[in-house]
Amino acid sequence: MANGNGVTAAEGQIDDEIVLSVRDVTVAIDDRLILDKLSLDIKRGEILGFVGGG
């Protein structure tokens, strides 16, 4: 079931409980910026993946 914010889950699997909260994470390797001020909340039952250039 899609819930309108890009997250897909089985019926009834996602609730409002935040199990992981990340704020303003910046990561650089050598001089290459990998993440810039990433913030997100992950709720119980959500599955999250990151896709980027490689």
Q: What are the domain boundaries of the chain? A: 1-46
pTM (global) more than 0.85: no
User: 14 near 45, Cβ under 8 Å?
Assistant: yes
β pairing state of 18-29 and 32-43: antiparallel
DSSP string, 7-33: -B--TT---S-EEEEEEEEEEEETTEE
Contacts of 20 (CB under 8 A, 6+ apart): 41, 42
Beta-bridged to residue 40, according to DSSP, are: 22
Model confidence pLDDT, tens digit, residues 4-38: 666 565 555 567 899 999 999 999 999 999 999 99
